[in-house]
Amino acid sequence: MSYLVLARKYRPRTFAEVAGQDVVTRTLRGAIAEDRVGHAYLFFGPRGTGKTTSARLFAKALNCEEGPTADPCGVCARCLAYDAGAEGDLIEIDAASNTSVDHVRGLRDQASYVPLAARFKVFLIDEVHMLSKSAFNALLKTLEEPPPHVKFLFATTELHKVPDTVVSRCQVLRLSALSESEIQARLDEVFAAEQIEAEEGVTAQIARLARGGMRDALSLADQLLAQVGRKPRLADTERLAGEGTNEAVEAVLGAILQADPPGLLAALPAREGEEPAFLDALLGYVRTALVLALVGEDAPMAAGAASAESRARMAALAKSFGAGRVELMLQELLHARERMGPVHMRAHARLVLETTLLDLCRPEATMPVEEMCRRLEALEARLGGAPASPAPSPAAPAPRAPAPAPAPAPTQAPPTPPAPRGVAPAPEAYVPPSERAGKARPAAPPQAPPAAPAQAEVRVQPSPERRPPSARDRRAAGSTARVQTNSTADRWTGLLQELGRSSRELAGLLSKKGELVRESNSVAPLKVRGLTEPELAFMERPDSRASIEAAFRAVSGEEVALKLEIHRGGSSADGFTQEITELFGGRVED
């Protein structure tokens, strides 16, 4: 007598026996009860979750002699034929082997004939996404307006490959992956019916290895019983798990947490060919840990994904790593999975896995950007707070000061190059006027030699974008903040700095297309060239002009007037010159 595998022997015969798909079964039962049965349904979801089974049960419910009914009787000729797989009016087609347009034309011809004995002629097309484009096109008209006695039921694991024109003509039903608790409950029922004396924890481990598929779980149970007989133990499930158990995954993650490369390599699967499966297990574990870290142990997205004990360990591990680092680890593991996909990379799957995990073993490789910024700011604060020169010891006798040499004429600073396109001007080189005036320095006693120029005490401050001056500092500066700057370069840098506080967009536009010309007769021309139509309208707005003039007065005072010159014509440079100019953030001089 031939053996019938558990997945076929215990296939559901009623909607009530379908595990974990309450939304789908409730929709189908409601459609029959309310007499609102559509002509086409599309079932999609992961493998082994009940797509084809749900479609067959729906066809059985429609053709039951007591129906259509949501609860088929199971004893009439139609129900018995469906259970035996011998119903002539249920036409099942495997789209993977019937992909051409000729097969679909034959299907259309069959649809025109009335059923042999049933109420409806049902076409069940499995893996419908495998049909060719021409086959889909040939099916469209019949699918949209089929004969009254025809129903179409489609099943697929890859909905994105089904044309939208087909999807829009169907009622789409999504089947989700089953939780471990649902699979475990079903396995307990099957083992009880088969009189299998399994050790406690066996069904839970099989449910964990099935990864959401009931058919996979029953197939693993068949494999386990074939190896060890009717009394499986928990240790026997290791033969099914390969290298993808939670213990192996936790050993790898523990080595990453401890930054232990030798321990990491020792925890990796020893057998070649297990790398993709192990990486899938690692991805599932890290994903659940990330959900637990962000939402908590009661997260509905993680409910049923693992046992309570496993979720507690995942949450503790995620807390040790930190949610930010776990997210970055998940991204790197996904990239590694993509690199393993191509055919030419499958021979190097172990190399991809090892290099990715060894990279994750370095904490700096998965350090969040916020942490990097915090460390850089702390470093800048330490460097910026260091004295420019060591102060003389008060106990040492002050040497006789030499005659002061004439101060050298201040050298004009080179003009600051404009910022690249789309980037706001970097104001680090601009020193607030309050610091130029030496506001924080104590007054020198009359007997002391002349103090060094204020410019000698100027230090480069951290970026104002990260640590902008507070309003209290600006108020305390008072009129000192209005100290004039003498050089054109200083005025230009100060203008962009001051304008950036009120309008970053305006400051960025000036940094790219503006130029402050050397003053003449107390007038400083500001020329803006090469504006597009939207930029020209923005620059000519009264509030934009007022903001520019106010920022210039704040930097240069009232003695120098600003003359804003907007050149409406575009640049006369050729395309190559404009491309180079934009690439290096330059300016074309007339």
Each residue's pLDDT expressed in tens, for the chain with a length of 590 residues? 578 889 888 899 999 889 888 999 999 999 999 999 999 999 999 888 899 999 999 999 999 998 789 899 888 999 999 888 888 889 898 888 877 888 888 888 888 888 888 899 999 999 999 988 888 988 888 888 899 999 999 999 999 999 999 999 999 999 998 888 889 899 999 999 999 888 888 888 888 888 788 998 999 999 889 888 888 888 788 767 655 567 788 888 888 888 888 888 888 877 777 788 888 888 888 888 888 888 776 666 665 556 667 777 888 888 888 888 888 888 888 998 888 877 667 778 888 888 888 888 887 766 666 777 777 888 877 786 544 444 444 444 444 444 444 444 444 444 444 444 444 444 444 444 444 444 444 444 444 444 444 443 434 344 444 444 444 444 444 433 344 455 778 888 888 888 888 888 888 888 888 888 877 777 878 888 778 878 888 888 888 888 888 888 888 777 777 788 877 655 545 545 655 655 665 666 65
Please provide the CATH number assigned to the domain covering 481-590. 3.30.300.180
DSSP element (H, E) containing 561: strand 561-566
State the pTM of this model: 0.54
Q: How far apart are CA 511 and CA 422, in angstroms?
A: 10
Other CB atoms within 10 Å distance of the CB of residue 173: 22
6-174 maps to which CATH number?
A: 3.40.50.300
First to last CA, the chain: 95
> Given this chain, do its domains 180-241 and 246-366 carry the same CATH topology?
no
- Got the DSSP string for 104-128? HHHHHHHHTSPPSSSSSEEEEEETG
Question: Is CATH 3.10.180.10 the classification given to domain 246-366?
Answer: no
Which residues have a Cβ under 8 Å from the Cβ of 218 and sit 6 or more positions away? 5, 6, 7, 10, 187, 190
Strand 523-528 versus strand 514-516 pairing type: antiparallel
Sheet holding 523-528, edge to edge: 514-516, 523-528, 561-566
Domain boundaries along the sequence of the chain: 6-174, 180-241, 246-366, 481-590
Radius of gyration of the chain (CA): 38
Q: What angle do CA 271, 273, 278 make, to 5 degrees?
A: 85
Q: Residue 67: which residues within 8 A CB-CB, separation 6 or more?
A: 32, 61, 119
Given a contact cutoff of 8 angstroms between Cβ atoms, the answer to whether 78 and 117 are in contact is yes
The CATH number, out of the four listed (3.40.190.10, 1.10.8.60, 3.40.30.10, 3.90.79.10), of the domain defined by the range 180-241: 1.10.8.60
